[in-house]
Amino acid sequence: MALNRRIAYVDLSAGSVEVRDVPLELRRKYLGGRGMDAYLLYNHVEPGTDPLGPDNALVLSAGLLSGTPAPAGARCQISAKSPLTGLLGSANMGGFFGPELRYAGFDHIVIQGRAEKPVYLWVHNGSVEIRDADHLWGGDAVQTQTRLREELGDPDVKVACIGVAGENQVRFACVRTGIKNAAGRTGMGAVMGSKNLKAVAVRGTLPIRLADPEGALGYLEELVDYIQSSKYAEIMGKWGTLFIFDVTNSTGLIRTRNFQSNQMPHSEDLECEAMDRYTMGMAACFGCTMHCRHKYVLPEGRFRGQYGEGPEYTSQGAFGTEVGAASMLGVLEANQLVNLHGLDTLEVGSMIGWAMELHEKGLLPAELVGDLDLRWGNLDAVIRLIDDIAHRRGLGDVLAEGPKGAIERLGPETAYYNIHVKGMSNLHSDERPTPSLALNIATSTRGADHLRSRPAIDLYHLPPKVLERIYGKPGLSDDYRVYEGKPWMVVWQERLYALVDALGVCKFQSVFLSPNMPKAEEYARVLRLVTGLEFTPEELMEIGERVTTLERLFNLREGATRADDDLPERYFTEPTPEGLPAVRGKCIDRDRFEAMLDEYYDLHGWDREGRPTPETLARLGLDAEPTRLV
Amino acid sequence: MKILAVDEKRCTGCRLCELVCSVRHEGAADPARARIQIVKWEEEGVYLPMACRQCEDAPCAAVCPVNAIGRDPELGRVTTDHDLCIGCRACVSACPFGVLGFHEDRGKTFRCDLCHGDPTCVKFCETRALRYEEGDRVVAGRRRAAAARFRQAVAE
Ligand code: SF4
Ligand code: SF4
């Protein structure tokens, strides 16, 4: 059964494990993945908890469709209170870990306490063991997985682990699985490191029974055809997310040299075609027909002969435009290093880009810079800083604190130049010309973020009729520059993505980068055939709303206010210098932004301070939280 | 005769074939009991789909002490008569490819049955790493690909 997976509570201080069932009521309200993560976090992390202390809970949750043949049912959510933002920490990863966790009999692992010495968890067909990991400490994030497979004597063991960055509690260390998959954002690797937990190894052979196997196969064949017949699937299958660079750079929507420009000239060597020289084919996550990940062996340079996977658009920005460099080889090298160290590629690029601008403006103390040459485009400095951040050396140690901590160390005059929201850096995109995307990064529950409410298709000039069909509201504009109507698009996407993350399917196979992808209607049918749970599409979107609202409650309980739903000051003060006429010379208008924010709160049933009203909480069944049902 | 042809270079390692195979045969997402399985060298990005090769002179049949394993000439597949099978696993050990599975709960073996002439894995394999084709066409395709490489080498 897709619903009989269990939850394991691991107390690393006591060295104990307790296994419990998940009440059906919670499944119906939160499904799994990010939904259950929100519930478990709200119920098991007291407000004011030190994110790097033993009381923080690290929650790993497979989605409710992970491990089933639902399209790209590969995903797993990892959550904790974030050491980067002090608010909700939550990151999602693909690969093969989530499905394997379910085959091992579990949907959720809640890890609390702190082990005295390094340990790893061995999760296998219904059992969880805490094992010694002294011999693994210090290992990189790929080596660690290989060693565990050897030690456990099974090449099919799947591992989620940290590299040295997590061990050193770099506040944006990620959790890694496979060659490049990562629960990248909000510092979940640092939380793992703080618990002395090097890895979670899983392997299982327990079947997940389907409610209607033949019906599921019939419908899924149709659905895969629908997904694969789109032009977008073809592009993703050939280039992966690298194609986005060509679009955003030619338009002028890419963050360049920290925030000094929105376009980078002479950047052919960053365009997706530049990957032709390196790629040896594509790899896919579990159950995915789209296969968006490049496989490569570096033919030259610092890591000559090494095998790697990726990179994503994120790394093109982080180690390309952001630091003023235009070299695909450089991107691949940096990608390689962050993956081995277990660092969030996006946060790393942002922090280095910021340091370069500070250096240019004379705001970095000379003794911190030392012999580093922080001029734009110097990839030697970038590579060295990645290493220094992971090992917490010199300037790297300061940057390892993330935006908030580093600003504190470097002084308030540096704050203006850091492009973050709630303490988390933004993607290397420039949202000044696009109010909908600006509202998205300002309001996402985990800080500046493009994966939790971005109406990316707002950029496509889709006819209003198509927009109405998707968003279910008439009168939406096909112009990405206007402010009107955008809050609803953000709210709708927020619900859809929360749903997708709770199901454990891939966002790339939902309405995100293409309008012709599955949404609640399709998922409702898949859920019925696979799990037997009946939901209307509206009910599923309401689950998305419930999940985001509970995440909101978590943040409010930690002291977040309306003031945290804001943009970096530069969005309001510095107009975009480059790009197509439609995007050049654009800033976000403060008053209209605030009006969007009001409307965004209204649409949720929150007051003007962004607090859900009692009626809203009652409507969503959140008025009694924390209920501690499990 | 059609065969399940594997072009491992096209395989992305997604394992959807394992999943849909197990759903068809077991009613469950159950890769451990899928009739096709992807063997991976993850650190090198190499993935190889493995399934019963429906051997002409099948070692599994040769070792079966109760003659439970036979050939279905129509589909060109090797079959096990589970009424005769005593669950001794001699065939499992004899298979040189390790693609015969054993169902602990049922005490019976399982292997690819070509979905009775319409393999489910093939339908879902988007990259066409798996195909169900006439055996001679599979080789003809390889021959042509090799010839093309040869031709190019000669031209250079
Ligand atoms: S479905 Fe095709 S691409 Fe995916 S693992 Fe199987 S053979 Fe490889
Ligand atoms: S099970 Fe093995 S030995 Fe028997 S026919 Fe198939 S591949 Fe040949």
Mean pLDDT on A218-224? 97
Query: Minimal CA–CA distance to A179: which of A288, A5, A309, A19?
Result: A309
Q: Rounded to an integer, what distance in angstroms lies between the CA atom of residue A185 and that of residue A6?
A: 26
Residue numbers in B near A146 (CB within 8 A): 43
Distance of residue B77 Cα from the nearest chain A Cα, in angstroms: 23
How much is the ipTM here?
A: 0.95
Quote the pLDDT of residue B137: 83
Give the distance (Å) from ligand 1 centre to CA of residue B95.
23
Per-residue pLDDT averaged across A562-583, rounded?
Answer: 97
Direct distance between the N- and C-terminal alpha carbons of chain B, in angstroms, rounded to an integer = 38
Contact A213 B27 (CB under 8 A): yes
Q: How far is CA A94 from the centre of its chain?
A: 10
- CA of residue B28 to ligand 2 center, whole Å: 24
Q: What is the pLDDT of residue B156?
A: 76
| A contact test, residue of B12, B48, B121 with most A CBs within 10 A | B12
Q: Give A365→chain B minimum CA distance, Å.
A: 42
Closest CA to A285 of A103, A101, A158, A95: A95
Q: What is the pLDDT of residues B93-145, one digit of tens each?
A: 999 999 999 999 889 999 999 999 999 999 999 999 999 999 888 888 888 88
Q: With pLDDT > 70 as the criterion, what percentage of chain A qualifies? A: 100
Mean pLDDT computed over every residue of chain A: 97
Query: Residue A107 is which amino acid?
Result: D
Q: To probe the interface with B, which of A295, A296, A509 has the most B CB atoms within 10 Å?
A: A295
The token duo for A299 is: 């033919």
How many other CB atoms sit within 10 Å of the CB of residue B32?
Answer: 17
Residues B78-100, mean pLDDT to the nearest whole number: 96
**Contacting residues of A for B21, CB less than 8 Å apart:** none
Task: Name, in order, each residue with C-beta under 8 angstroms of B89's C-beta and a sequence gap of 6 or more.
Answer: B102, B109
- At residue B144, the pLDDT reads 87
Tabulate helix, strand, coil % of chain A (nearest 5).
45, 15, 40
Average pLDDT, chain B: 95
* B105 touches A: beta carbon within 8 Å: no
Q: Grade residue A107 by pLDDT with cuts at 50, 70 and 90.
A: very high
Cβ of B68 closer than 6 Å to ligand 2, yes or no, is no
Which B-chain residues 22-51 have CB contacts (< 8 A) with chain A? 22-24, 26-33, 40, 42-45, 47
List, for residues B32-75, the tens digit of each pLDDT value. Answer: 999 999 999 999 999 999 999 999 999 999 999 999 999 999 99
Return the residue whose CA atom lies nearest to atom 6 of ligand 1: B17
- Selecting from B12, B33, B43 the residue whose C-beta is nearest the C-beta of A282 gives B12
Residue B55, ligand 2, Cβ within 6 A: yes
pLDDT of A214 above 70: yes
**What is the token pair recorded at A296?**
């490569």
Q: What is the pTM of this model?
A: 0.96
CB A257 within 8 A of CB A572: no
**Are residues A207 and B126, on separate chains, in Cβ contact within 8 Å?**
no
What is the distance in angstroms between the CA of the first residue and the CA of the last residue of chain A? Answer: 20
Q: Is the pLDDT of residue A1 over 70?
A: no
Measure A284 CA to nearest chain B CA, in Å. Answer: 5
